[in-house]
Amino acid sequence: MGYRISQVQSIGARQRRGTAVLQQITSLFEHLEDGDERHDQ
Distance of CA 28 to the CA centre of its chain: 11
> What pLDDT does 19 receive?
94
Distance of CA 32 to the CA centre of its chain: 17
Q: Which domain holds residue 21?
A: 1-41
> What pLDDT does 40 receive?
58
State the pTM of this model: 0.49
> What pLDDT does 39 receive?
56
Identify the DSSP state of 9.
H
Please state the domain count of the chain. 1
Look up residue 7 and give its amino acid: Q
* Tens digit of each residue's pLDDT (9 = 90 or more) over 1-38: 577 888 888 888 888 999 999 999 999 999 888 876 66
